[in-house]
Amino acid sequence: MAITDKIYVKNHRQLASQLETSFPKSAFSGATLDILFTGDGIAKLDDASRDRVLDFAEDFLDCDCQGHPHCGCPERKFISYLLELRAQGLGPEAIVDVMGDDYMLYAYPGDVLSFLDDAVRTLEAAERLADVDDREKAGEAIGTRRRELSR
Ligand SMILES: [Zn+2]
């Protein structure tokens, strides 16, 4: 399972009752993207929740793909967001706190930790491949990124 399958909406029950409909707890579920983040119901949410929901939609659901918001862009952008927080030096618990403040989302720190470990391992493998291929510049760029993520 991808990390984006393990990102959940905080106050899920409260939001569902404000929207007078149900949607899955998982933030990147197709139905959640439709109902909570791109639905007409946003106006029914209390101010604080609405601001977070709109911020999420602006930051991750702003593409013009035909399949929007089921095109994969939201997931890709959210993964970049997580990696960016990590590159700023945040650990899994702090990352979970920040996504809560920013977008009213939560995840289990252990899931975030394994996602970050996997990301570093993927970069290590790419770095080795670049070395084998004698692509020094690419290898260096990947190495820089890897070090940012493994501080
Ligand atoms: Zn898209």
Residue numbers in the chain where pLDDT is lower than 70: 151
How many angstroms does the Cα of residue 29 sit away from the middle of ligand 1? 15
How many angstroms does the Cα of residue 80 sit away from the middle of ligand 1? 14
How many angstroms does the Cα of residue 60 sit away from the middle of ligand 1? 9
According to the model, what pLDDT value does residue 20 have?
A: 94
According to the model, what pLDDT value does residue 1 have?
A: 86
Q: Which two tokens stand for residue 29?
A: 């579920």
How many angstroms does the Cα of residue 134 sit away from the middle of ligand 1? 34
Number of other CB atoms surrounding residue 13 within 10 Å: 10
How many angstroms does the Cα of residue 132 sit away from the middle of ligand 1? 34
According to the model, what pLDDT value does residue 40 have?
A: 86
According to the model, what pLDDT value does residue 144 have?
A: 93
According to the model, what pLDDT value does residue 78 have?
A: 98
**DSSP notation for 65-129:** -TTTTSSSHHHHHHHHHHHHHHHTT--HHHHHHHHHHHHSEE--HHHHHHHHHHHHHHHHHHHHH
How many angstroms does the Cα of residue 75 sit away from the middle of ligand 1? 9
How many angstroms does the Cα of residue 45 sit away from the middle of ligand 1? 25
Q: How far apart are CA 62 and CA 98, in angstroms?
A: 21
- pLDDT one-digit tens code per residue, 19-47: 999 999 999 999 999 999 988 889 999 99
According to the model, what pLDDT value does residue 34 have?
A: 94
Tabulate helix, strand, coil % of the chain (nearest 5).
Answer: 70, 5, 30
Please state at what angle helix 47-60 crosses helix 92-103, rounded to 10 degrees.
110
